[in-house]
C-alpha cells in the first residue's frame, strides 16, 4: 500500500511540508523494497536515509519552534526524541533478526502511523501557532 501525500497534510510551512513529502517518499520506498523484494542492501540504505533525515527534519522543526516561542516545544521535542529512539530500535531489530516480511511490515506500519498522526496532530498545532504569531506582525523573538 502506497502512502499518498495530499493537501490534508499541509501545515502551511513550505520547508516543513517539503520535508514531510520527502518522508512520505521514503516511506513509499520502504513499501517498494518490501513489495518488490529489493533486498537487504536497498532496505539498509533506506533505513539509513530515514534515520538521518528524521534527525535533520526534527532539528529544523525544533528550530522553528524556538524562533516562534512555541508554547509546547518541550513536549514536541519529547515526541521527536521518542520517535528517533523508535527508529533506532527498528533498525537494530532489522539488523539483529534479519529482514523478514513481518519485521518489515511492522516497520512500515510503525513509521506510517507515527508520521500521519504526528503531522495531523502535533505539527498542525505548531504550524497554527507560527501562523498566529506571524498574523500578529510580531517579530519572532517576542
CA distances from 19 to 14, 89, 119, 133 (A): 9, 23, 11, 22
End-to-end CA distance of the chain: 45
Residue-wise pLDDT tens digits, 93-128: 888 887 778 888 888 999 999 999 999 999 999 999
Residue-wise pLDDT tens digits, 51-88: 898 899 999 999 999 999 999 999 999 999 999 999 89
Q: pTM, whole model, 2 decimals? A: 0.85
Report yes or no: 20 and 133 within 8 Å, Cβ to Cβ. no
Q: How many whole angstroms separate alpha carbon 21 and alpha carbon 8?
A: 12
Amino acid at each position: 500500500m502506497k502512502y499518498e501525500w495530499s493537501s490534508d497534510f499541509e501545515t502551511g510551512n513550505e520547508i516543513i511540508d517539503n520535508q514531510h513529502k520527502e518522508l512520505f517518499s521514503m516511506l513509499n520506498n520502504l513499501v517498494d523494497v518490501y513489495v518488490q523484494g529489493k533486498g537487504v542492501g536497498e532496505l539498509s540504505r533506506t533505513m539509513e536515509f530515514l534515520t538521518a533525515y528524521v534527525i535533520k527534519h526534527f532539528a529544523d522543526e525544533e528550530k522553528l519552534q524556538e524562533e516562534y516561542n512555541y508554547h509546547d516545544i518541550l513536549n514536541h521535542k519529547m515526541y521527536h526524541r521518542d520517535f528517533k529512539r523508535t527508529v533506532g530500535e527498528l533498525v537494530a531489530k532489522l539488523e539483529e533478526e534479519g529482514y523478514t516480511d513481518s519485521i518489515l511490515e511492522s516497520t512500515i506500519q510503525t513509521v506510517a502511523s507515527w508520521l500521519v498522526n504526528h503531522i495531523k496532530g502535533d505539527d498542525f498545532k505548531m504550524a497554527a501557532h507560527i501562523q498566529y504569531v506571524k498574523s500578529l506582525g510580531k517579530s519572532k523573538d517576542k
